[in-house]
Structure 1
Amino acid sequence: MIGIKLKNFQEKAVDWLYQNTELENKEAIILQAPTGSGKTIILVAYIEKYLDYHRENTVFCWFSPGKGNLETQSKEKMEKFCPQLQTGTIDDVLLGGFRPGSTYFINWEKITKKGNIAISDTERTNLYEHIARAHNKGLQFVCIIDEEHLNDTSKANDVIKALASRHEIRVSATPVAKALGEFYSINEVDVINEGLITRAMYVNFDLKAGTIESIDTETDLLIEKAVSLREQIAKEYISIGADIRPLVLVQFPNLNDTLIERVEEKLNALGYSYENGLVASWFSVETKEDKNYNSKKLGKINLGDEGKENYITRPNATPVFLLFKQALATGWDCPRAKILVKLRENMSEKFEIQTLGRLRRMPMAKHYDNDLLDNSYLYTFDEKYKLEALKIGAYETQRLFLKEKPREVELVKEIRNADLPTTGEVEIIKYLYEFLKTKYSLVNNFNENAKKLENNGYIFGKNILSSYLKGKATTLKDLEIQENMSHESINYEVDTHKHGMDLRHEIDALKKYTGLDYSSTRKILSRLFLKNTSRKYKLLSLTLKEFYAFIINNKDKIKDVFIEFSGQHIKNKQITLSIVKTEIFKIPLEENYKYRSDAKSNKVLESNAYEKYTVQMIDSAFRSTSERLFERYCDASDNVDFLYKNGDSGSQYLSIMYSDGFGRTKLFYPDYIIRLQSGEIWLIETKGGESNGQDKNIDVQVENKFKEFKRFANEYGYNFAFVRDRDEELYYNNIEYKHSLSEDEWKPLDEII
């Protein structure tokens, strides 16, 4: 390599990769490289070393996610540090095929998606033809899958299979959990010791929100703190003669233009604007939810020209604030970024290692022995702060084919009926009113009700209460477990104008539990708790400010109430056959099952409806205790002809209609179809059992499902049962659902199977 000397930990990683790819082992090779550790440099150095010995018959395919032009960045680094190596793109492959000794940098979106950048169907066919020709010439592929957690799609998998690579190297700061293969992790502390990333990350550094008066919004406070800290860091850089302009990243939870404009206005008031070049933005549509916002903020402002001196990633670029949503999370390098302000829209926001990693790089790959410069900073009021790797499915699957006998089975299944009448707002208010009165022993006295609710943990008053994390974390793992972190409190009086958006956010978060729109959900809450609305079905009489604070402060308790209420069975709401749509169900001829490839046993469960269904497919990683016990029980029973494991959702599976406490009609999918040697058909739903007298069932809809399951079985002449476990033994119930397995309704499973 030219112009760069590898750090000690980087050399070790290169050696490990080379040693493992010299072996004939076909398992995937997984490299976990913390953001800022120089994983691209490690991979380039490894390729250079490997091709020194295998140039004549080897082709490298380097796959990168579509966001952030990561494949271009990687290609440019190889050309800069190893100019003697041949590089190419997908376009080069389509024009001339694969050349031995070359590395092709390929954007996944070009080969897996539709749109402007994607190759055509004809070109995709040509790609497979070029792969076949390469194999015919005796060329061997080595695949590098960069940011591997982002490439889990069937089309991506098809390309990987076609390449039939000699080795597959998956690399990320956040590898998929439980992925199988040879695993190597670069220690984050080693990267810190080499000066490549900051010594630590401070959360809410020097923030004393509880002592500051007249806080208009959390957002304003965080922006003000970030501005102040950025100015201090900038002065320190100047004092040591470093030409670095520290950058503040402001991350938004979604494309809500109102929140974006609030931040823009705040920055403008502090002297930072698009007009003077100090503020930049980068907003793009990433999800379906993003599209629904119809944001007018899409695009890039003041980012400069990539690769040019004015580009925002340059150490002395003009912008010092960058507003964004998600686009920076993958492959975007900007070592001058020192501060992240993470705004929230509700308490469920999560932080991702990829996003936080943007803050970890040191601008000049060295420490200054200056605490202000050698650390990075995060400001947020996210009370339920969580840091976790992206998880996008990690288990291998195997396609199985149906045996002959199960093909005979035909059953009735119920499907969604869009014409079903829904429960009205007034009816829901009535039932919810009665539910809350019973749950909390409420009466027809508002003051008395307030005392009872307060005794149950509800917060009253005109102040919004919150807390935030504060402390220092050396590694990202420290942030995850929150060691050395304290919770600081903050509260401020409601301003119905300024906190209107906050109230809407919380009601928007609650509406998914009601199945209603924002307007209807707010109407229900207002009817129950707000003064100056109809007294019928009213439990509290709060002023408008008190109502705002009540909903915002008690959102989690209200959410739990909604979830519990949804599990109630409304009288006279049992589904009748006249309003149900039905279809004929047949067991699918083929099915993909997750399996544990490194399991100790691969014993075939002969009772299963599919060929080659093994114990690897009932691993505890993706099957409950009751499911595993039940399948083993059936396999050991001489009475079982076959067992079919039904899917959890989808039109190809057996489904039954039920309704919840809000009157919403839903489908549930019983776990198993069993045919006994006698020809009897049994439909079985397994649920969490009991442990030390504690109910392990977590399904709040269990009673609603049981009643409709019984109705369904009676309507169509099937046998049914719920099955639960206690002390490794299984019990069934098809009479009336009881939570305790000590009740007489629960009987030993061997009475029916």
Structure 2
Amino acid sequence: MISEITLFDFQSDAVNYLLDATTDPGTKHKIILKSPTGSGKTVILLSYIDTYLGNVNAERVFVWLTPGKGNLEEQSEEKMRALFPHAKTGNVHDVLLQGFSPGSTYFINWEMITKSGNTALKEGERKNLFERITDAHRSGIFFTVIIDEEHLNNTSKANDILSALSSEHEIRVSATTKKISTAEFYEIPEEEVIASGLITRALYINEGVDISEMDDLDSEALFLLQMADDKRKEIKAAYGEQGEKINPLVIVQFPDMSDRLIEYVESCLEDMGYTYNNGLVSKWMSDEKINTENVTEHNNPAAFLLMKQAISTGWDCPRAKVLVKLRENMTETFEIQTLGRLRRMPQAKHYGDDRLDFCFLYTFDEKYKEVAMQSGNAYEVRRLFLKENCRDFTLVKEVRNQDYEYVNEREARDKIYDYFIEKYKLTTDKAENKNRLEAYGYIFGTKIFSRYRSGKFQRLHDITDERQGQHLEISYEVSTHDHGIDCLHAVDMVKKDIGLPSNKTRAILQHLFHKMIRSNKKLIALSNREWYAFMINNTYKLREDFTEVATLPNLRQMQYLEKKREPFKLPLEDFYRYQPYEPDVQVYEKNAYQGYDTSMTTDALRSTCEQLFEYELEGRDDVEWFYKNGDTGQQYLSIVYGTNISKEYLFYPDYIIQKENGDVWIIETKGGEVQGKSKNIDRNIENKFIAFKEYAEKENIHWGFVRDRNHKLFINNTEYSEDMSSPEWVRLEDKF
């Protein structure tokens, strides 16, 4: 029996596409459906399943996997029972108790089968999930897997389950995904979803914001809340004019680690008449929920909902019409998929009134990005096993000493001071120093300068087009109270590359630039308010300068690093990414792992230099075997290196080579040159070179950095030079 439900044309087209794709023997195993938020993807998938069972194969079993947030598997199963009362459904517990029943659809929470220690994967009195899958295969059952919100499902155990199911097709569905070469791809046009009335006609960013109002702005947060509240009242009046009993909701979204900002917003809302006590404010945080019961209902009294970045998958609140996106620092970037929560129309129709047919965003984030959170499924993973002749090979690896933290605050301060003096030609004349730094783009004064974007955007993707909308600049006087969080995050941005905690980084910045801190390393003497504004306005420039100081080569690093040494053996088994549809695959016979082939060394997985080097190794008669080291992890070969200010890190050289004569080589590949310009992007390359050289001398092994130029390979193991025309870089075959 096939139920008759009314679908929009774009939904019917999607159902027909899935039917064609899953009945065509020439279709690829994976099928990606990109479905905009609010387009009714659950209805599309349920209609597809019902039609398939009714017309193609009534015995097929569908396994519907959902992410672990928001009880999405229960919502999907309930919707199937409501729309298709005759459908046979079940969950993971039904599978464990009774096995898979032909013609059924099983809704399974992804985390229930991937978290360690869960019931679904335990050996015990009942047959576990793997055994039930095996039983189903033996009885002739065939599976089709649907992965809902596919970007959230990416674990090694998940791959084990998917491999065990051995489905004929894998349908992966998400609003944020991209086309990949290893899968069929179908995208529902956003314009058709808009035309259906299911989602808003367009998005307004900062609608009604007047730049002239910004001159004396005390707080971005307060201003944005007031703008959002005014818009909310307009929308509520418009609903009243249409005879609708809908109370529009403002979502206030906070970044992570923003407790002080939350308290400030709560205080602002209280001054505006909105509190938890009067029921007009709700809070939905992972550790605290206030007034959240029935908050999604159309006429719920809550006018503001406070939440952090991770809105539960499947959370549906069509009355949400306005989003206030707060930023804790001046450089945070806004993620577009959050806007999908605003786009649903409460009654699935447009009214012909922009106040109701549009959604509204208020934020001062200048940069916008659409993050397609792929689950890594552009590449498959294959487990390889180490060859017998490589299993006794041993080396020594270096690891960080967890009990050791050398970074010297005074030494770091002095090096940063000397760097500024040399780079910007500064003197003891602080006024002149200010002029010189200003000439290089540093901003001074007591005003904070910021940019924001304004305009009408019909499609979410339009926001990523920098040519659309207006880019406006605002400035307002700094407040050490209101902008304390912004200053704190500016310090946090700067500290990342120097290895000091926030309090010590702040102390260095005050020694250099704050007049209230006595120091003989003073570059400029700023007042407290000037220093706050200086930090917020110049975060990126300060971070760039501090990073450059940290990555300068330090020939003395080995004198103070207290490294630990541990034995290293090649892993007995390892996982390598590969492209399954790569044509003309050839095995590397000289690789240390059985089955390592050219599908694992495509240009999507290896750099040009790495590809050339592996081809070279495979063709050399004097090479017994070679090993491609991992990028990070305790099981791989690591070497400790230090930065210019004594912070220690690990790097993982790319290759270990055993030659026929017994010589051992370790090689690190780097970006080479194209038309005389360096492709190297590793700013710590010289410090790694220094550490690598010291390690090789201590362990008595051969080593080198290898780079490519004009499709030829060059090696250097003497003194580092970025310029590949220098005599330090010689042809690989002349030394290796």
Give the TM-score normalised by the residue count of structure 2.
0.95
Q: 1:483 to 1:575 in 2, by over 3 A?
A: same
Task: Tell me if structure 2 keeps the 8 A contact 1:210–1:488.
Answer: no
**CA contact 1:176–1:392 (8 Å) conserved in 2:** no
Q: Please report how far the alpha carbon of residue 327 of structure 1 lies from its aligned counterpart in structure 2 after TM superposition.
A: 4.1
Q: 381, 385, 395: which one pairs with 1:397?
A: 381
Q: Quote the Cα distance in structure 2 between the aligned partners of 1:620 and 1:347.
A: 37
Deviations along 1:561-586, one digit per CA (max 9) or x if unpaired, are: 12211112346332479x43212222
Q: Equivalent of 2:101, from 99, 106, 112?
A: 99
The runs of 5 or more residues in structure 1 that have no matched partner are 285-297, 305-310
Shift of 1:678: 2.8
Q: Which residue of 1 aligns with 2:469?
A: 485
Residue 653 in structure 1 maps to residue 636 in structure 2: yes
Aligned ranges 1:2-41 → 2 under 5 Å: 4-24=5-25, 25=27, 27-41=29-43
Q: C-alpha distance in 1, partners of 2:310/2:397?
A: 43
Contact map agreement 2:318 2:342 (CA 8 A) in 1: yes
Work out the CA distance in 2 between the residues paired with 1:201 and 1:342: 14
Name 1:632's counterpart in structure 2. 615
What is the CA–CA distance in structure 2 between the aligned matches of 1:122 and 1:360, rounded to whole Å? 46
1:177–1:391 contact (8 Å) kept in structure 2:
no
Q: Partners of 1:317 and 1:174 in 2: how far apart? A: 30
Contact kept? 2:330, 2:536, Cα under 8 Å? no
Q: Check 1:179–1:151 CA distance in 2 against 1; reply closer, same or farther (3 A cut).
A: farther
Distance 1:430 1:262, change over 3 A: same
User: d(CA) in 1 for partners of 2:397 and 2:310?
Assistant: 43
Once residues 451 and 571 of structure 1 are traced to their aligned partners in structure 2, the CA distance between those partners, rounded to angstroms, is 34
Aligned length: 733
CA distance in 2, matches of 1:449, 1:127: 70
Specify whether residues 252 and 125 from structure 1 end up closer, same or farther in structure 2 by C-alpha distance, changes over 3 A only.
farther
Aligned mates of 2:394, 2:586 — CA distance in 1: 29
Name the CA shift for 1:571/1:18 in 2 (closer, same or farther; >3 Å): closer
1:304-340 CA-to-partner distances (Å, cap 9, x unmatched) read: 2xxxxxx222222221211111342521111121111
Is the 8 Å Cα contact of residues 582 and 599 (structure 2) preserved in structure 1?
yes
What pairs up with 1:474-513 in 2 under 5 angstroms?
474-513=458-497
Give the drift of 1:700.
Answer: 1.0
Query: Which residue number in structure 1 is paired with residue 418 of structure 2?
Result: 434
Say which SS state the counterpart of residue 687 (structure 1) adopts: strand
User: Are 1:564 and 2:586 an aligned pair?
Assistant: no
Distance 1:333 1:611 in 2: 49
Counterpart Cα distance in 1 of 2:307 and 2:120: 25
Change (3 A) 1:354 1:384: closer
Q: Quick one: which of 360, 364, 369 aligns to 2:347?
A: 364
Shift of 1:407: 2.8
- Match for residue 509 of structure 2? 525
**Counterpart for residue 248 of structure 1:** 250
Match of 1:741 in 2: 724
Q: Structure 1 residues 728 and 21, CA, compared in 2 at 3 Å: closer, same or farther?
A: same
1:181 to 172, 183, 204: 183
How far does residue 171 in structure 1 lie from its aligned partner after superposition? 0.8
Letter in 2 for 1:470: S
Deviations 1:629-667 (A, max 9, x none): 211222233332222111111111111111112211111
Aligned AA for 2:228? A
Which residue of the other structure, out of 322, 326, 330, is the alignment partner of 1:339?
322
Amino acid at match of 2:663: E
Q: How does 1:343-422 map to 2 (within 5 A)?
A: 343-394=326-377, 395-420=379-404, 422=406
Residue aligning to 1:291: none
Taking the TM superposition and a 5 Å limit, the aligned residue runs for 1:323-338 are 323-338=306-321
* 1:119 Cα deviation after fit: 7.5
Distance, in Å, in 1 between the alignment partners of 2:629 and 2:176 is: 32
1:279 aligns with 2:281: yes
Does 1:130 find its partner at 2:140?
no
| Partner amino acid, structure 2, of 1:723 | V
SS in 2 for 1:368: coil
Q: Is the 8 A contact 1:174 1:353 kept in 2?
A: no
Matching residue within 710, 725, 728 for 1:727: 710
Amino acid at match of 1:11: S
Cα 1:117–1:209 shift into 2, 3 Å: farther
Cα distance change of structure 1 residues 125 and 472 upon mapping to structure 2, 3 Å threshold? farther
Secondary structure, counterpart of 1:657 in structure 2: strand
User: Paired residue for 1:308?
Assistant: none
State the identity %: 50
> Shift in Å at residue 252 of structure 1?
0.7
Cα 1:717/1:331, change in 2 over 3 Å: same
Does residue 301 (structure 1) correspond to residue 302 (structure 2)? The answer is no
- Deviations 1:602-630 (CA, angstroms, capped at 9, x unpaired): 12223322222222211222322211221
d(CA) in 2 for partners of 1:745, 1:691: 18
Task: Map 1:260-271 onto structure 2 (within 5 A).
Answer: 260-271=262-273
Distance 1:730 1:551, change over 3 A: same
Q: Alpha-carbon deviation of 1:511?
A: 2.2
User: Which residue number corresponds to residue 583 of structure 1?
Assistant: 566
Pairing partner for 2:658 from 666, 675, 692: 675
Partner AA of 2:11 in structure 1: Q
Distance 1:392 1:700 in 2: 29
- Distance in 2 (CA, whole Å) between partners of 1:604 and 1:572 is 44
The within-5 A match list for 1:43-82 is 43-53=45-55, 56-82=58-84
For residue 215 of structure 1, what is the aligned residue in structure 2? 217
Indicate how the Cα distance of structure 1 residues 591 and 279 shifts in structure 2: closer, same or farther if over 3 A, else same: same
Structure 2 partner of 1:84: 86
Gaps of 5+ in 2: none
Preserved CA contact (<8 Å) 1:706 1:737 = yes
1:147-158 → structure 2 map (5 Å cutoff): 147-158=149-160
Mapped partners of 2:127, 2:160: distance in 1: 12
CA contact (8 A) 1:67 1:327 kept: no
SS of the residue 2:496 aligns to: helix
In structure 2, relative to structure 1, the CA distance for the partners of 1:210 and 1:683 (3 Å cut) is farther
Cα contact 1:575–1:659 (8 A) shared by 2: no
- In structure 1, C-alpha distance between the alignment counterparts of 2:181 and 2:122, rounded to whole Å: 32
The answer to whether the Cα contact below 8 Å between 1:9 and 1:191 also exists between their aligned partners in 2 is: yes
Q: Mark the CA change 1:475 to 1:117 in structure 2 (over 3 Å): closer, same or farther.
A: farther
- Residue 32 of structure 1: how far off its partner (Å): 0.9
User: Structure 1-normalised TM-score?
Assistant: 0.93
Of 146-155 and 504-513, more deviation after overlay is shown by 504-513
Secondary structure at the counterpart of residue 10 of structure 2? helix
- Counterpart CA distance in 1 for 2:317 and 2:117 is 28
Q: CA RMSD in A?
A: 2.1
In the alignment, the residues of structure 1 paired with residue 282 and residue 288 of structure 2 have an alpha-carbon distance, to the nearest angstrom, of 10
Quick check: 2:670–2:706 contact (8 Å CA) kept in 1?
yes
Whether the aligned pair in 1 keeps the contact of 2:424 and 2:436 (CA below 8 Å) is yes
Cα pair distance change 1:349/1:176, threshold 3 Å = farther
The alignment partner of 1:271 has SS state of coil
Paired AA for residue 232 in structure 2: R
Letter in 1 for 2:594: E
Contact 1:329–1:358 at 8 Å: present in 2 too?
A: no
Of 83-92 and 63-72, more deviation after overlay is shown by: 83-92
Report which stretch shifted further, 212-221 or 118-127: 118-127
> What is the DSSP-based 3-state SS (H/G/I as helix, E as strand, rest coil) of the residue aligned with 1:328?
coil
Instruction: Call closer, same or farther: CA 1:51–1:421 in 2, change over 3 Å.
Output: closer
Q: Which moved more, 1:167-176 or 1:663-672?
A: 167-176
> Higher mean Cα deviation, 79-88 or 392-401?
392-401
CA 1:115–1:562 in structure 2 vs 1: closer, same or farther (change >3 Å)?
A: farther
Alignment match, 1:224: 226
Q: Could you tell me how far 1:358 is from its partner in structure 2? A: 0.7
**Cα distance change, pair 437–121 in 1 and its aligned pair in 2 (3 A):** farther
**Structure 1 runs (4+) greater than 6 angstroms displaced:** 115-119
